[in-house]
Amino acid sequence: MAPISRLDEDIVRDISLEGKVAVVTGASSGIGRAIAIKLAKAGAEVAILDIDIEDGLKVQNEIGKAKFYRCDVASSEEVKGTLRSIYRDFGRIDIVVNAAGVIVRKNVLETSEEDWDRVINVNLKGPFLVSKHAIPYMKERGGGSIVNIASGWGLKGGPKAVAYCASKGGLINMTRAMAIDHGKDGIRVNCVAPGDIDTPMLREEAKQLGVNLQEFLEEAADRPIKRLGKPEDVANAVLFLASDLSSWITGSVIVVDGGGLA
pLDDT tens digits, one per residue of 178-205: 999 999 999 999 999 999 999 999 999 9
* Residue 99 falls inside a structural domain: yes
- Read off the amino acid at residue 142: G
Whether 137 sits among the annotated catalytic residues: the reply is: no
Q: How many domains does the chain have?
A: 1
| 261 found inside a domain | no
Strand arrangement, sheet containing 253-256: 66-70, 45-50, 21-25, 95-98, 144-149, 187-194, 253-256
Domain assignment of residue 248, yes or no: yes
Nearest C-alpha neighbor of 86 from the set 124, 133, 143, 141: 133
pLDDT of residue 8 exceeding 90 = no
Tell me: pLDDT of 1 over 90: no
Give the residue-averaged pLDDT of 218-237. 98
Asked, for residue 8, whether it belongs to a domain, the answer is no
Residue 135 has pLDDT above 60, yes or no: yes
pLDDT score for 22: 98
Residues 127-144 as b or e (16 or more Cβ within 10 Å = b): bbbbbebbbebbbebebb
The CATH number for 140's domain is 3.40.50.720
Domain contains 180: yes
Q: Is residue 121 part of a domain?
A: yes
* Inter-helix orientation angle 76-90/126-140, to 10°: 30
- Nearest of 146, 145, 135, 51 to residue 101 by alpha carbon: 51
Residue 72 lies in a domain: yes
Query: Tens of pLDDT along 238-252?
Result: 999 999 999 999 999
Whether 9 is in a domain gets the answer no
In which domain, by residue range, is 96 found?
Answer: 19-255
pLDDT at 9 over 90: no
